[in-house]
Structure 1
Amino acid sequence: MPTEPEPQRPPVGPAPARHELDAERLRAALVRGADPDAFYRRLDVVTETASTNADLLAAARDPGTDRRVLLAEFQHGGRGRHSRGWAGVPRAQVIVSVLLRMPGIDLADLGWLPLLAGTATVDAIRSVTGVDAELKWPNDVLVGGRKVAGILAEVAGTHPEPVVVVGIGLNVSLTEDELPVPTATSLALAGATDLDRTALAEALLRELARRWQQWYVAGWDVTGPAAAYRERCGTLGRRVRAVLPGDTELHGVAADIDEQGRIVITPDDGGEPIAVSAGDITHLRPVP
């Protein structure tokens, strides 16, 4: 089945200047102590690590650890969905993980956290760079049909309350030659002129905190996160191919995101809509 034509990429040029993240600026803006109303309790920036998610999953064993942020200038053992490995490029990405305790949430609603993080990432990109990012279900962030950011949430524990680590990897100044796969892109390749990773990290973390707090105050009601997600989801209304567990395929139109965060697909054969909770989604051309 043909997919949409791939957009043209800009000519390859030299990598932009790559500056270190300003840890003190981030702490002053985001961490309690510097600001008594701040959401986060600790923020660290490390030069290199295997996986920021793995580091915070280990830190979650301390019951006093909450709202902790870890950023890395370089990550050499990261993991994506389905345990796919990936490595970063030093000072070319925003690589960040956040540990969050979720008191009182129904375990069935935890799947909304990575979708909420996707919404926050889209809004941070738009506000800082003006680049028109959108979401591809479930939580890939696309620019011009290519992946610019990915999100992975992992449950560290469920008792006495759920603890989740959500990791975000955003390609900022990667050149054509540095892209991990041909379907990826970076903000630089998308034409962004503001490539300040500190500003991007601050905007992303502020937006994540704001949306998390709204969700918490609403008693973990998914209505608000679902509405915001749908507004930014470029998959809705598109013809898609879903590769489901067991390598079966479903072709149809992505009609909705349900209250469990599943994508609801109306099959091409006219059958009843099917809610898909896991699978690889490809955007397809409309049927002529």
Structure 2
Amino acid sequence: MNANFPVQTPKKILVADDNPDVIETIFQYFSDAHQPYELLNACNGAIAYQIAQEELPDLIIMDWEMPIMSGLEVIGHLKKLEETRHIPIIIATGVQTGDRNLEEALEGGAVDYIRKPFGRLELLARSKSAMRMAALHQKEKMLMQSVIDAQNRELSTIALQVAQKNELLEGIVKKLQPIAVKNTVVRTYLKDIQSGLNLDNQWEKFKLHFEKVHPQFFVRLQQKYPALTPNELKMCAYMKMNLSIKETMQILNISKKGLETARYRIKKKLALTPKEDLHKLIHQF
């Protein structure tokens, strides 16, 4: 095979319908297409939900009314999961399905709907359009995330530089304090250095930069968890930036044990169980 023509990975499509004839027809339509597809099927909503989580298809074509779990219920469950919420879903409906029901499906997370009986060209066109739009959305999301990651790295560099500067100045202050008792010039310099160590002022400046990258982070977090202290909010911000344990310890000037204790207290205030991921929750804000 020519190395210039890489093998195309077949798009994975899940068809969920309690009517085997409908599934067979849809499978035939895709089998006749001029590109390969990996086709999966489910005869009820519960099985569709399970397969979607296991296989992560590129597209789901879902019947509106199915046993055990309706199409709308499946959409609701899938949109709650981080790993499946991006999957485009087309609702396949009967002619008796009202406009209000279709509107409900679209509001719930379906990207399109198609009325039965449908033809091959319509199904393939709508399916390709849904997968193309989903792929574009994923690329846009990845690009946005790469920008945020770069901005987070810049923020962490600023925070680390401030921490290193403070550590240096604190060392100078300790050395100058005995001399400053008898020397007014040194005492004046010491006051200037101590004013440069105004941590509250430094945090406010950093916070301005942080909120340009993560707007409303502190507002949303404090609205939901008003018991968080200023220091705990700082730690949440550093988690949002994906700082390592070592970097966080350096910036906050605390030990690993101190960091673990602080995170444990935050988890308690956020009502998380020991097994629940604190970072995952913070990244939702």
Name the structure where helix makes up a greater proportion of residues: 2
> Do they superpose with TM above 0.5?
no
Name the structure where strand makes up a greater proportion of residues: 1
TM bracket (short chain)? under 0.3
Which structure has more relative contact order (CA 8 Å, sep 6+)? It is: 1
The structure having more radius of gyration, on CA atoms, is 2
**What TM-score do the two structures reach when normalised by structure 1?**
0.22
**What TM-score do the two structures reach when normalised by structure 2?**
0.22
